[in-house]
Structure formats: structure tokens, C-alpha cells
Chain A
Amino acid sequence: MTLGQVLLVAVLVVPALGAVAVAATPRDRAARIVGTVAAALTLLAAVPLVFGGRGWFAWSAGTPAVRPWHQVDLPWVPGLALRFHLGVDGISWPLVVLTALLTLLCCAYTVWRVPGGGNGRALVALLLVVEVGILGTFLALDLVLFFLFFEVVLLPMYAIIAGWGGADRRRAARKFALYTLFGSVLLLVGVYVVVAAAGTADVVALTGGGGLSRGTQLAAFTLLALAFAVKSPLWPLHSWLPDAHTQAPTVGSVVLAGVLLKMGTYGLIRVAVGVAPEGARWAAPVLGVLAVAAILVGSLVCLAQSEVKRLIAYSSVGHMGFVLLGVATLTATGIQAALIGNVAHGVITGLLFFLAGAVKDRTGTGTLAELSGLRETAPRLAGLLAFGAIASLGLPGLAGFWGEAFAVVAAIQVGGPLWTTLGVLAAVGGALTAAYFLRLLRQVTHGRPSPAVSPVGAGLAGAELTAWAPLVLLALAIGLVPALVLGVAEAPVDALIGVVSR
């Protein structure tokens, strides 16, 4: 085995063993520290995956469109066409690192503060299991394995919401589980529609259509796109998301918004578009219209929200709308926009949920009307919130800008009355995003301190700063140097577009 393969397996094995170790450690605080160490090791294993194996930069006809930097391919269940096939390339690597980073921050945050409801040891163990599932989804190069990891996430996340969430957590958790399972059973059927027709589940061999008939591709794309639309979530299948986010504990919301939703958009790019390009071309207008509807509906609903976590949750619907619009254009610019939009949303919304959690913990309320004047009593917290909100609304120079701007650009570039209209409407949605975030800031940070806000101290805990600083820095770094993401993703995206637009 090469070093790359060892790292690839380690990225999954370390958090899995970490979860076991956490469960086996008797003392609660020690267990949480063990979990944090495991998460840190995972990040250490994920980052170096970028080195080596990249002996190519241009795509040419006749070579497979997916060329992983490192891969592991072992047989597992031949009877179900399931192979343990992992690989990493420029499309998946940024998401892998993001997942490892956010999980580490969440674990570290949990060492400092355990949300009420259960013990912190179990929470950290569950976070690590969720991490295994998400990383596995990003790394899987076998459709059945992809499905398997997609499912692994479901119950641990359910348990996190149901165990450590807010007052209405059970209903929210059940809604999350049922919606998501609805998506993943469609994924199961979609995967085997492809496998039954092609006789293989290997993503590398299947990308580009692999000789699937038009009918199969349309059926497969419909099923897969529906499955990923639930996870992403795409309007009108999004209604599980606000409840889940509002009720989940802070770390749950961060993981949910930061990386869990990305399983949907990543799956759309890698699996749905890659395996059934003809289906993608056929469904692209519908996908584009729904994406723009999500942007507009999400923004309008946000304008009417009165609860801070719910507002951020609905803003995710809008942001993921931009990502999906980028994918729907099926151009290199659009897919690039989707990838950077994915990462930026993970970083910024992760940060925003951390901040919203901090505000709620301090004031005991999340209602916007009761939260005026935070700037007076807690200037640093208010400042960070302003930074997060501005990054999220897409100010140039911060991470949120690239994904939204280039999704619009891609739509305009495609041209034609439909896509031009969609581009314009998406731009209007971007303006609405600015409107509701500014409204949030006006209500929360400005004005006279409300009774709930008055007693809040100005200080921030060291653990909080540790958890937030990397996200703030990343939001700046990606905003200033988008090549951090786009550089590694360029070649694989060109290769993908090469086979998709054939």
C-alpha cells in the first residue's frame, strides 16, 4: 500500500476507532478529549491527501473522467456489486478537509460545553460516527458504497437531534429521519437502476454515461436527483431542514449545515450528473427553475423569520439554491461555482450557527425581537456575527461571494431566454439575501439592550475563540484566494464537463 492509500483508509478508520475509544473511556471529560484527538488525527490524515498522484492536468478524450489522486479498491460483497472502492480527487478533497475540520471544531467545542440533555461522551462518539459517514460518502467511488455511507449518517444525526436538542426535538428529529430516509431509498433504487443496466457500480467506469441507454439515464437521473434534492435540500423538499436546525444542539446544526447538506450537492455532481449526463441535460431546466425558486422562496421566508437559528436555516435553502443553479447549468463555471459555494457555505454557516448558539446560550432566547443591542453589551460577539452575516450575504472579498456570483455568471453565459431570466432572478435573490441579513444585524446588534441582552458579559471563552477562529480565517482566505478550492478542482471539473457535454 502506498502512503496515499494508507491515509485514505485512515481518514475513515481513525474516527471510527475514535468513536469506539470514546465509548470505552469511562470518564466523561477524558472521553471528550479522546474524541477531539481522534478528530484532530483525522484532519491530519485528510490534509496531506492533496499531495502526490496528480500527474495530469488536462483532460483528453479516451481517458476516464474521474482520475483519483489516490485510491483503494477491494472486493467486499460481489453478490451485490459492492466493492470497497475509495478515492479522492479535486472535487472531493476540499469537502473532506472541511468535514474533518468542522468535526474537530465541534468536538473541541463539546469538550468545553455539553448541551443539556445527555452526556457529552455519547455526543462526541456520535459526532465521530457522523464524520465517518460523511467522509465515506465523499470518498466512495462505488455507487453501492456511496449509498451505504449515505445511510450511515442518518441515525447518529437523528440521535444527536433527539438527544441533545431543544424543546420540540423529537418531532424535528423524526421528521429529519423520515425525510432523509425517503431520499436515500430513492437513491438505493436509482443506484441499482444504474447497476442493473451497466453491470458495474464503479463510478470511474460509469462517469460519462458508460453506454447507458437514454431511458435508463432519464430514470436514474430522476431518482438520484430527487434523492439528493431531499438531502441538499432543494425547494420544495426542504421542509425538514428548518425544524432540524432549530431544534438541533449547536454542534449538530454546525455539522448539519456545514457538511451534511453537501452530501446532496456532491452526490448530484459526482453521481447524478456524472453517471447520467443525458438525464442531467434533459432535467437541467427543471433543476434550474427549482434552484431559483429555492433562492427566492428561501430569501423571502428569511425576511419574515423571527428566530435567529431558523433564519440561518432558511438562508441555507437559498444558498444551496445557488449551488444547485451552478450544477444545473452543466458548465465548467457553474460546477466550479457550486463547489466553492459548497465549501464557503460550510465555513460561513458553520460559523453562523456557532454564533447563534452562543447568543442563545447567553441570553436564553433566539427571538430576534428580544435580542436588540447586543453590540452594547457583547461587542466582540456582535462583531463576529456581523462578519458572518456579511460573508454569507456575499460581499466580494469574503468566501460567500464566489459561489453566488459565478452561479449567476454561469447561468447568463448559457444564454437563451430561460437561463438569462434565471440568472437575473438569482441575482435578485442575492439582493434579498443582503436584505434579510442586514435586517438580522439591525435587529440583533443595534438598538438599546433588551432585558435578555443586558446581563450578557463582553468576554468570549477561549474554547469559543478556538472553535471560531479557523472558520473566520477560512472565510477570509477563500474569499481572497479562491484558488485554494478552484485550483485543485479545475482539472476534474473540466474532465467531468468534457464527458457530460459530449
Chain B
Amino acid sequence: MSVVQSVDSMALLPAYLAAGTAVLVLIVDLVLARPRATVAVAAFGALGTAVGAAVVGAGGERRTFCVGADCSWVFGGRAALVAAVVALLTLGVLGLSVPALRAGRSPVGEYAFLLACSMTGGVVLGAAGDLITLIVALETLTLPLYVLVGLRRGSLASAEAAVTFFVTSVVATTVTLLGAALLYAVTGSLHLDRLGALLAERPELRDLPLTTAAVALLLLGLAFKVAAVPFHAWAPATYDGAPLPVAAYLSTASKLGGLVALLAVVQRALPADQTGPVLALLAVLTMTVGNLVALRQRRTVRLLAWSSVAQAGYILAPLGALALAAGRTGEARSAAYAAAVAYAVFFVVLELAAFAGVTALRPVGADGGTLDDLRGAARRHPWRGAALGLALVGLAGLPPGLAGLFAKVTVVRSLLDGGAAWLALVVALNAVIGLAYYLRVTAALWAPTTAPGAAAPAVPVRGVVAAVLAVATVAAVVLGFAPQLVLDLAAR
């Protein structure tokens, strides 16, 4: 047996591009020391990564780093989708950061480098075929964020947020690793597909208490990353303390990463009859608690943070259908996974648009402020206000935010196809609670300002932020009229 593996570099191209971007950013920052060049390199790198992922993904599934039939790198349709979305989100977040970087709030080179590193983690994540690759990729995604959250100069809230995030996240990773280790102890394997096959073939392994513990630890550790209740407490504090663009990244790319990791282990490795009930419970708790607490928020970013906790619940909901036997047939299962991915894609587009809208309506480098700070903003800035309003309404799942409506419809449909009508009803009723606070923010945007003398000054438009907002809004509108694009990609 040859110990030299042949490596399919074409399959690895997106990862090369992403990692190359990070290195190049570092070099350009060192050599040229021109902020503009550094940001440009990062932006082109992110764009290149997205294109590379799309090109490689279009050519069918590619595998490499294989031992026998088990491969550690499986770059298929979903991996390409995840990689492209993460790269584009990175590009968007970079755009949102430009005014703050120009104002010297954060060191440019470090900021761009860390963002590119995080992107690399996200790109690798979708293609991970074994638990170690998966966890390392997830850490590569999150590790730079600890620093990015705290990178706002002279902000105590920022540092506090970073520490909260760091501590909870490290604990979560440890728990995940422990779960992976126990699973290895039981089965002697780390490859996701092999694990799935082993657990399916040998029911006596599934009945071991150790397996149950391992599955639980693995799931709970990953639930931290998507900020599912009861492992959500870090999210609002962290989002609110972080610079706005980083909060945007946390609630989009980072959340997507957590979901992809969760999906990978649930779909390919773990027995559905054990994960299903846990996921159903997590989903119900997450959306209900997230929505109820969001009702009481007065700070914009905290409200968005809690709402994104609730949205994580909707993303997990289709997986909850696995709790029932009817939801575990082959067709219902693949529909549930596709629905979760599709919802996540719709969600990140709308969430990015929402954060871009808030960034565009707030002064450079400011935090999200309170809802009162946004009062009447759409009367002063009709276009930006309308874009933010559209994103919020979309998150609530109502027309004219058709993308959000179709996202909810996708979830409800997959649940009913899987026979989980009760969970569909929970999702539906939660949408009503959700509307209450999304409506409050949206209505505040158009509300007349209370004291005319104390009218907030107009916030000038910054080109890059406006462009990101425009692109995200256009993407949301297009996906609203052609949701089949996402549904097709998610089902691959």
C-alpha cells in the first residue's frame, strides 16, 4: 500500500484561494502598508474564492484525502454553496467595515487578515468529511472572531464582549471535542460517512450509554456555535459589544458555519432517532425564547441578536422532523436538510441587508444604538430606510420581503411532509410573535420624530456601505421572486 496520496488540487482550489487571500493580505500590509491596497486585496480574494467555489462546484463532486472509501475532503454542491456564500458574506462585511477602518477605529491589516482567516475556515467547513477537519475548520472560522470582536480601540464593551465570546466558545469547542473523542472510542472512526454506516449497521453500538453521551456532547457543543437556546446567552452581549460589521459577520457567516457543522454530523454521522428529539426540543426552545426576549429589547443590535437566536430556531426546525419516524424516511430527510440550508441562505442574505441598513443609518464607527436613534430615519433617508425596512419585514417573513416568506414556507412545507405538523404550528405561531418586534422597528423607522428641535442630524451616505446595502437588497428581492434558485442549490 502506497503511503503517498494523490491530492486533487482542483477540489482544494477554493481553500487555496481563501488561505492565499489571508497570506496575501498580510504580505501586502507589510510591504505596501497602504490600507486601501490591503482592503482591495482582501476584497478581490473573497470574490475570487466565491468564483472559485462556484466553478469547482459546478463540475460535480470531487473527493480527496481518502483512506479507502472514506474521504476527509468532499467538495460537492452544498460545500460549494456554503463556500461561495461565506466568501460573499466576507466581502459584504469587509465593505461595511470600510468607513470605520478609514476612520482608524481598527488596524486595517490585522482586521482584513483575520476576516480572511475566518473566511478560510468557512470555506473548508462545508467540504469537511471527518470530525477533525470539521472541528478545526469551525475553530478557524471562530478563532479570528475573538480578536475581531475586541478590535475596536478604546471600547470597554468591545473587550467585554470578546472575553464573553472567547470563554463560552472555548468551552463549547471542548465539549464538541470530547464528544468526538468518545465517538471515536466507541466506533474507532472519525470519518462522518463511516461513522454513519457503522452506527446504522451495528445497533448494539447505538445502545451503548457512551454513544448517547457522545452524540449529546457533540450536538450541544455545536448548538453553542449557532447560539441555540439554552446555549445562546453569549450572543446578545457579544453582538452588542462588537463593531457593527463584525456583529453582522457573527450573525451571518459564523451562524451559517455552525449550522453547516451541525448539519454535517446530523446528516451523515449520527443516528437520526437519537438526534431528532434533541434537535426538535432545541428548535422549539430556541425560536420561542429568542422571540419572547426580543420583544423586550430596546437596543437595535440586541434586538437583532435575539431575533437571530430565534431565526436559528427556524433553521433547526426542519431537522426536528427527524424526531418522528415519518420524518426519517430517505425523502423526508433530504427534504429537511435542504430546507434547513435553504432557510439559512435566505436568512443570511436578509440579515446582512438588515445589518447593512443599520450601519448605513448610523454614524461612522457608532454601535447600533437604541431604537429611538433610528426613529424617523426612513423619513430622513428614504432609500436606506426602505432597504432596512424590507430586510426586517423579510426576516419577519411577510411580503414585500418575499425571500423571508418563501424561507418560512420552505420550513413549514418540509415539516408537514415529514409529518411533524405540531412543529409546523410552533414555527407558524412564532412567526406571529416575531412580527410584533420586527414591526416595532420598522414602524419606528417611519415614525415622526418626537421633538422637532432635537431632530437627529442627517447621516451622510458612504459609498461602499451603500453599495453593500444595495447589493444585499437586490439579492433579497431577486431571491424573493426566484426562490427556486436557492431551493435547487440547497437540494444538491
- What residues make up the interface of A, taking CB atoms closer than 8 Å to B? 76-81, 133, 144, 147-148, 151-152, 154-155, 158-159, 162-163, 170, 174, 177-178, 181-182, 185-186, 188-189, 192-193, 195-196, 219
Which residues of the partner chain B approach A162 to less than 8 Å between Cβ atoms? 443
Determine the distance from Cα of A185 to Cα of B421 in the docked complex, in whole angstroms: 13
- CB within 8 A of B432: which of A77, A80, A158, A178? A178
382-424 of chain B: CB within 8 A of chain A = 393, 398-400, 405-406, 408-410, 412-413, 416-417, 421, 424
Which residues of the partner chain B approach A147 to less than 8 Å between Cβ atoms? 409
Determine the distance from Cα of A159 to Cα of B442 in the docked complex, in whole angstroms: 10
Residue of B nearest to A151 (CB): B399
Most chain A CB neighbours (cut-off 10 Å) among B406, B413, B424: B413
Residue of A nearest to B399 (CB): A152
Q: Do A192 and B412 have beta carbons less than 8 Å apart?
A: yes
Apart from A174-B436, A185-B432: 20 A-B pairs, beta carbons within 8 A: A78-B484, A79-B484, A79-B488, A80-B406, A81-B413, A144-B409, A154-B398, A155-B398, A158-B439, A177-B435, A177-B439, A178-B436, A181-B431, A185-B428, A189-B416, A189-B421, A189-B424, A192-B412, A192-B424, A195-B416
For B, the interface residue count at a CB cutoff of 8 angstroms equals: 30
Residue of B nearest to A117 (CB): B448
Which residues of the partner chain B approach A79 to less than 8 Å between Cβ atoms? 410, 483-484, 487-488, 491
Which residues of the partner chain B approach A80 to less than 8 Å between Cβ atoms? 406, 409-410, 413, 483, 487
Which residues of the partner chain A approach B443 to less than 8 Å between Cβ atoms? 162, 170
17 CB-based A-B contacts, threshold 8 Å: A79-B484, A79-B488, A80-B406, A80-B409, A80-B487, A155-B400, A159-B446, A163-B446, A174-B436, A178-B435, A181-B435, A185-B429, A185-B432, A186-B428, A189-B421, A195-B413, A196-B417
Whether a CB of chain A sits under 8 angstroms from the CB of B171 is: no
Which residues of the partner chain B approach A189 to less than 8 Å between Cβ atoms? 412, 416, 421, 424-425, 428
Which residues of the partner chain A approach B400 to less than 8 Å between Cβ atoms? 152, 155
Q: Do A174 and B439 have beta carbons less than 8 Å apart?
A: yes
Determine the distance from Cα of A385 to Cα of B431 in the docked complex, in whole angstroms: 42
Contact with A along B360-397 (1 / 0, CB 8 A): 00000000000000000000000000000000010000
CB distance from B150 to the nearest CB of A (A): 39
CB distance from B340 to the nearest CB of A (A): 14
Contact with A along B469-492 (1 / 0, CB 8 A): 000000000000001100110010
Which residues of the partner chain A approach B431 to less than 8 Å between Cβ atoms? 181, 185
Which residues of the partner chain A approach B398 to less than 8 Å between Cβ atoms? 151, 154-155, 181
CB distance from B469 to the nearest CB of A (A): 19
Which residues of the partner chain B approach A174 to less than 8 Å between Cβ atoms? 436, 439
CB distance from B291 to the nearest CB of A (A): 13
271-311 of chain B: CB within 8 A of chain A = none
Most chain B CB neighbours (cut-off 10 Å) among A79, A181, A182: A79
Which residues of the partner chain B approach A186 to less than 8 Å between Cβ atoms? 428
Which residues of the partner chain A approach B409 to less than 8 Å between Cβ atoms? 80, 144, 147, 188, 192
CB distance from B486 to the nearest CB of A (A): 9
Which residues of the partner chain A approach B410 to less than 8 Å between Cβ atoms? 79-80
CB distance from B393 to the nearest CB of A (A): 6
Determine the distance from Cα of A77 to Cα of B491 in the docked complex, in whole angstroms: 14
128-158 of chain B: CB within 8 A of chain A = none
CB distance from A194 to the nearest CB of B (A): 9
Which residues of the partner chain A approach B425 to less than 8 Å between Cβ atoms? 189
Determine the distance from Cα of A148 to Cα of B432 in the docked complex, in whole angstroms: 16
Determine the distance from Cα of A148 to Cα of B406 in the docked complex, in whole angstroms: 9
Which residues of the partner chain A approach B405 to less than 8 Å between Cβ atoms? 148, 151
Residue of B nearest to A129 (CB): B400
Which residues of the partner chain A approach B399 to less than 8 Å between Cβ atoms? 133, 148, 151-152, 154-155
Which residues of the partner chain A approach B416 to less than 8 Å between Cβ atoms? 189, 192-193, 195-196
Determine the distance from Cα of A485 to Cα of B147 in the docked complex, in whole angstroms: 70
Which residues of the partner chain B approach A155 to less than 8 Å between Cβ atoms? 393, 398-400
Residue of A nearest to B419 (CB): A196
Which residues of the partner chain B approach A152 to less than 8 Å between Cβ atoms? 399-400
Which residues of the partner chain A approach B436 to less than 8 Å between Cβ atoms? 174, 178
- CB within 8 A of A77: which of B406, B428, B439? B406
CB distance from B438 to the nearest CB of A (A): 10
Q: Known interface pairs A79-B488, A79-B491, A148-B399. Does A193 touch B439 (Cβ–Cβ under 8 Å)?
A: no
Closest 5 CB pairs of A and B: A185-B428, A79-B487, A196-B416, A192-B416, A152-B399
Q: Do B421 and A77 have beta carbons less than 8 Å apart?
A: no
Residue of A nearest to B418 (CB): A196
- CB within 8 A of B412: which of A163, A181, A188? A188
Q: Do B421 and A193 have beta carbons less than 8 Å apart?
A: yes
445-477 of chain B: CB within 8 A of chain A = 446
Residue of A nearest to B442 (CB): A155
Residue of B nearest to A185 (CB): B428
Which residues of the partner chain B approach A144 to less than 8 Å between Cβ atoms? 409
Determine the distance from Cα of A144 to Cα of B491 in the docked complex, in whole angstroms: 21
Determine the distance from Cα of A306 to Cα of B234 in the docked complex, in whole angstroms: 53
Determine the distance from Cα of A181 to Cα of B487 in the docked complex, in whole angstroms: 25
Which residues of the partner chain B approach A154 to less than 8 Å between Cβ atoms? 398-399
CB distance from B106 to the nearest CB of A (A): 38
Which residues of the partner chain B approach A159 to less than 8 Å between Cβ atoms? 446
Determine the distance from Cα of A488 to Cα of B154 in the docked complex, in whole angstroms: 74
Most chain B CB neighbours (cut-off 10 Å) among A78, A163, A177: A177
Determine the distance from Cα of A196 to Cα of B416 in the docked complex, in whole angstroms: 6
Q: Do B432 and A182 have beta carbons less than 8 Å apart?
A: yes
Which residues of the partner chain A approach B408 to less than 8 Å between Cβ atoms? 188
Determine the distance from Cα of A193 to Cα of B487 in the docked complex, in whole angstroms: 20
Determine the distance from Cα of A219 to Cα of B412 in the docked complex, in whole angstroms: 15
Which residues of the partner chain B approach A151 to less than 8 Å between Cβ atoms? 398-399, 405
Q: Do A77 and B424 have beta carbons less than 8 Å apart?
A: no
Residue of A nearest to B425 (CB): A189
CB distance from A53 to the nearest CB of B (A): 29
Which residues of the partner chain A approach B393 to less than 8 Å between Cβ atoms? 155
